[in-house]
Structure 1
């Protein structure tokens, strides 16, 4: 990289940073957009703005058009809302007779970052039921008042068309686990329900559980799985609505960062659509909507069986549910997800079985990785040491050939490498082989449920950032805080870069470009989990220690003697690779072009 290229890249960085700062919307524009989205959200879920709303309680009977009382399910059009609770060791399910639906879900033994119970969703923004065409009129069971009958740890919700024609929603919560059995029974409604399909509708807003709402939104979205295919998801960063009609649907989920609400039908859905909208209201993450088609065969007794999963996104817990739910956990793209799933995660689970603290587990995991990679680290060091030792000879060649003929200069360098038996890429290749493991952890730690709520040293929660310094205002590129572990990681990277330059003998622009990336990563990783920054800090320190020990063991004079001895050894001509042949041909053409240009002058 020459000076002009370096200067150009640096200017591009300044322009991008300036563009983000100066082109961001004003506070008034942000507030206006938030107000508009809030109004749209309220309109979507059927709630009037505060200035027009009428306060009601669960015991208040809502007014209903008398014509509706005489229509289909008229006796269920009026009533008062009552709740029934099902509870086991893991879940507390609150059911409402209004719609016969799950009104709220509390995941036991878990807390939000603010030390409150984890409630996935709650209140009127949760809508669930069947959309039916009854006697030629549309009907939503979400608006009906069901009659609840509790039997042990099960509840039957019934809405009557008449004495022998009714809809049953049947719930049963096992003694433990995260699954809720759900069955729909349509009795005697053949010829009353028109068409050969009905629609199941579920809409809800999932509530904030984590410290950083922005990061929680980035890891939250609707997921779905076609039969015999891998799970897929909608856009995680913006609003989207998608038709799902490329196959039968095995399940769909409303996923948050560390928790999920999943609906699994016994018989896959025929088709449907999913929708997501990013919430701008405090305490809320995203609004989700789903409409799934179910076959209606005009039977006198039509039944549909489902299972809900309400629980954590811990990889092993999701895997135990079956249906490949664990693939909702983002372990990275290929090949990173395979490294995380089949190497890193099993080792992590093994270390976790010793009941160590997670700070110690991350330390031991980093040491094991560095030990496994130590042969590559050693090879990379030796290669860079050879290049450093050859630098005086390369400087002599440069002074002799001159900088105005780069093609000839590269040819002379290649001759020298060939004479002494040095591969100029020998230091890069071992580092590139280690890079996938370094990048794999970038996905592993931010999505690791086990770190949630776990503290170490001053870090109260390893799954989110440690705001050691709070500004009280937002600084472009940095945010509203400084993470102490991120600062330590940055300092360690700068120290590592300094000593790496000493080993490689880097000079000029290349000597300083390595210091730019740590500063960039300071802004990028400042809001990432402290557990991730802790790992990178440990990795830097252990790499520095490795190189220090290797440097003590390696004798530069001995390496120099070996290189000089290689010059005197007879060289056996090896068959050139296609790449080498093309490279030689390219350099010959470049040299001829430069020679013609000089003659023309």
Structure 2
């Protein structure tokens, strides 16, 4: 190496040594670096631990999922994939009805009648998802399954269907494969309360147990209270059913009841005071178990109804069970229109409205309802309709009222002569006294029962209207004067406590009805022929008080009708007494009748002969 190279190396070495000396870290910097190295080591160890725990968690989660999958497979078989999904809702509606259908169970979750509200202005729901059950039960791969627990998919892919312009429908499917599923088909026409409902079992013959010849459709619901009077509404809530070739029947209205029906059933109705949900079969239901459970008095729901319906299964590629749901009001005319089966035959859905037994129902159906509907056509105020209906009925019955009063007048003017007979003949000879009294009646041409027979004719109308008014949805939430709802009680004051059998309020129409009945009872008492039955007279005065208790919670429209009818009767009686029937003329007429020969029928002669023979003994 030459001299210059040696000096170059020496200079470079000096520079490196100087740089190293000048850049050497201080003691503080060395300490800080050691701290940073310690922290980094701790973080690395912590991260390695977290990663190890994450990997262990993933392994455990995978094992749990695998275990759950095995459990689901064991429980639900080929339907295991239809478990644990998110609920979605589909709306099917028209102008009258809104159905909310849940993908869980493919079921009708809520049923709302859009035209109506509850007494406290809330949407009127016939049933709600949280208080109902709806699904098909069957055995698949020897495992019991209920479709209510499984998730369906909407075949159409839509989330909302509006049936305001044309009939639309929703198809919900519980999928196993492309050609294997359970299907619920819903169809709703515009401006209709009727929903077509079909249960289809497609390609299930290899899944449903081969020895199965039926599947079971379960329908259950808690019926919520919609009206102001919970007690009265409960009295008109019952589970109805129609035999295929027989009459409509129902489970017990009070208390719990159940029936196992082997006879074919055409329809099943969950009926409330003013609204019903009715399931109708295209053919018939061949095996039905029905149950009604009454809730506690203060419960938010009235009763729980359940129907367990057997649907036949033959193992075909496609098994179809067409049905219909009626969701609507209990209006006689409406139920008659919708009460047709798939072939147009009358299935008597109008009998969901209890118009009364036999003659009482006939009076309502062929007399009261036609007049009421006629008046309803051009009068919007239902208080005026009830008033006119009352006047029409009282005018029709006016001849009977006149005949009844005339018969009472005849008995009244004969009272002095009857008193003479009683004075002459002692009480011990009761048969002789009775024969003499009857002889006087025959000579005078008086029928002692003449005053009762006209009242018996009026009695069916009285009872028929007692059944008609509380069941008439036309009066629901219709106001008149101080009554805000003619289908419920008209409270003018709330009591601080509840009186047994009476209630916790005061109904004014009920008070007016009781008052007019008291006046009419007093008027009748003044026209009685004798005071031989003071106990009966006391009972007559007790009747208005009993009416006050009985009708305080009933429909104000009914109390209003009875009030107007009784008031009209009082006016009629007063007018007849003042201008049409004079006691002196009646007595003269009876005296003239005595002079005429008495014509006895063979029946009367036999009665007299029998009485004489009994008197001799």
The two structures have a TM-score, normalised by structure 2, of 0.83
Which residue of structure 1 lines up, in the alignment, with residue 544 of structure 2? 518
Structure-2 separation of matches of 1:139 and 1:511: 68
Aligned to 1:268: 284
- What is the Cα deviation at residue 176 of structure 1? 1.5
- Corresponding residue SS for 1:333: coil
Moved more, 148-157 or 362-371: 148-157
Question: Which of 54, 71, 93 is the aligned partner of 2:99?
Answer: 93
Residues 53-452 of structure 1: pairs in structure 2 closer than 5 A: 66-69=70-73, 71-148=77-154, 149-151=156-158, 152=161, 153-194=168-209, 195-246=212-263, 248-280=264-296, 282-322=299-339, 323-452=347-476
Query: Structure 1 pair 420/64, CA: closer, same or farther in 2 (3 Å)?
Result: farther
Deviations 1:324-346 (A, max 9, x none): 11111000011100110011100
8 Å Cα contact 1:69-1:77 kept in structure 2: no
Instruction: Decide whether the 8 Å contact of 2:415 with 2:530 is kept in 1.
Output: no
Q: Distance in 1 between matches of 2:153 and 2:492?
A: 53
Q: Work out the CA distance in 1 between the residues paired with 2:530 and 2:124.
A: 53
Gaps of 5+ in 2: 1-66, 162-167, 340-346
The answer to whether the 8 Å contact 1:381/1:503 transfers is no
Confirm or deny: 8 A CA contact 1:261 1:309 kept in the other structure. yes
Greater gyration radius:
2
Pair 165,350 (structure 1): closer, same or farther in 2 beyond 3 Å: same
| Contact 1:91/1:107 (8 A) holds in 2 | yes
For residues 241-279 of structure 1, what are the alpha-carbon distances to aligned partners after superposition, in whole Å with 9 as ceiling and x for unaligned? 101112x21111111110001111212111111111112
Which structure 1 segments of 5+ residues have no match?
1-62, 594-601
The separation in 2 between residues aligned to 1:175 and 1:543, in whole angstroms, is 48
Equivalent of 2:527 in 489, 503, 507? 503
Tell me, what secondary structure is at the counterpart of 1:267? strand
1:182 offset after TM fit, Å?
1.3
Secondary structure at the residue paired with 2:527? helix
- 1:128: how far off? 0.6
- Distance in 2, matches of 1:352 and 1:298, equals 54
In 1: Cα distance, 2:248 partner to 2:157 partner:
36
Shift of 1:500: 1.6
**Aligned-residue offset at 1:589:** 5.2
- 8 A Cα contact 1:99 1:141, kept in partner: yes
1:144–1:586: structure 2 CA closer, same or farther, 3 Å change rule? farther
Query: In structure 2, do the counterparts of structure 1 residues 462 and 586 end up closer, same or farther at CA, with 3 Å as the change threshold?
Result: farther
Which one is further off, 439-448 or 551-560? Answer: 551-560
Q: Distance in 2 between matches of 1:211 and 1:95?
A: 29
Moved more, 295-304 or 277-286: 277-286
Q: 2:570, 2:268 → 1: CA distance?
A: 47
- Is the CA contact 2:379–2:385 (under 8 Å) kept in the aligned structure 1? no
Counterpart CA distance in 2 for 1:112 and 1:124 is 19
C-alpha distance in 1, partners of 2:69/2:424? Answer: 98
Cα offset, 1:94, TM superposition: 0.5
SS of corresponding position for 1:394: helix
Alignment of 1:31-70 (within 5 A): 66-69=70-73
- In structure 2, C-alpha distance between the alignment counterparts of 1:303 and 1:427, rounded to whole Å: 64
The alignment of Structure 1 onto Structure 2 pairs a total of residues equal to: 528
Structure 2 partner of 1:571: 598
Q: Distance in 1 between matches of 2:271 and 2:450?
A: 45
Report deviation, 1:511. 3.6
Cα 1:220–1:66 change in 2 (3 A) is: farther
The two structures have a TM-score, normalised by structure 1, of 0.85
Structure 1 residue 66: deviation in Å? 4.4
* SS of residue in 2 equivalent to 1:202: strand
2:180–2:204 CA contact under 8 A, matched in 1: yes
Question: Which residue of 586, 591, 594 maps to 2:615?
Answer: 591
Measured on the aligned residues, the alpha-carbon RMSD in Å equals 1.8
Within the candidate set 570, 577, 580, 1:544 is matched to 570
- CA distance in structure 2 between the partners assigned to 1:483 and 1:402 by the alignment: 51
2:7 matched residue in structure 1: none
Q: Residue in 1 aligned with 2:583?
A: 556
Q: Once the 2 structures are TM-superposed, how far is the Cα of residue 314 of structure 1 from its aligned partner?
A: 0.9
